[in-house]
Amino acid sequence: MNDYLENLDRALTKIPEIKGSGERFVVPEPKLMTEGKTTVLENFSVIADKLNREPEHLFKFLLRELGTAGKLEGSRAIVHGRFSSSVVSELIDAYIKEYVTCSECGRPDTHLIKVDRILTLRCDACGAHRPVTKRQAASIIKEQPLTEGETYDVMIVTVGSKGDGIAKKDKYTIYVPGVVKGDEVKIKIKKITGNLAFAELIEKKKK
């Protein structure tokens, strides 16, 4: 018994000191509002600060997962399209699991570093580290396939090298002639090739 207790004491002395804050980790609920056909995350900077992550990194993750475009405006994040608070909450939870929470001790006291060009999550509490792997985009947003001959409302997010407008919808890149960046339009899908779709302009929405 004495040998066991001595070995236990020796093992306990080798446990790394916990350097975390010890406070309960509570992420604020997303505060969303819609402005036209955009969704505004009003307390985006508060959430990023709580996660101790660069706002640009979190925002890039959200845009990739939502399959849309957007911009940061002060403390707010603005994305094209209408999304529910439950969807945004799920995505933030997914971000926390992949980019914040230590897989060994479960604490959020971590930071991101690059080791040999590999993004790595290092825990300040237990010393554990692991490489961060990119998740499949749009894993929470269920993709709805486009259908040739059907009409859709989309926003033109950029203009291609040949002058056609480009819209994004789920996994598809849609080319629309006769439009400019920022146009909100109704289109009709003429042809689909893989993840590319070609459409004709039906109507431009009034801004």
pLDDT surpasses 60 at 146:
yes
Task: Supply the mean pLDDT for the chain.
Answer: 83
pLDDT surpasses 80 at 20:
no
Write down the CATH number for the domain with range 2-131.
Answer: 3.30.30.170
Is 135 or 84 the better-scoring residue by pLDDT?
84
User: What are the residue boundaries of the structural domains of the chain, listed by start?
Assistant: 2-131, 151-204
pLDDT of residue 17: 46
User: What average pLDDT does this structure show over 63-67?
Assistant: 87
* Contact (CB, 8 A) for 73 and 38: no
**DSSP per residue, 63-131:** HHHHT--EEEETTEEEEES---HHHHHHHHHHHHHHHTS-TTT--S-EEEEEETTEEEEEETTT--EEE
Q: What is the pTM of this model?
A: 0.58
- Rounded Cα distance between 82 and 62, Å, is 13
pLDDT surpasses 80 at 153:
yes
> Class of 151-204 per CATH?
mainly beta
pLDDT of residue 114: 86
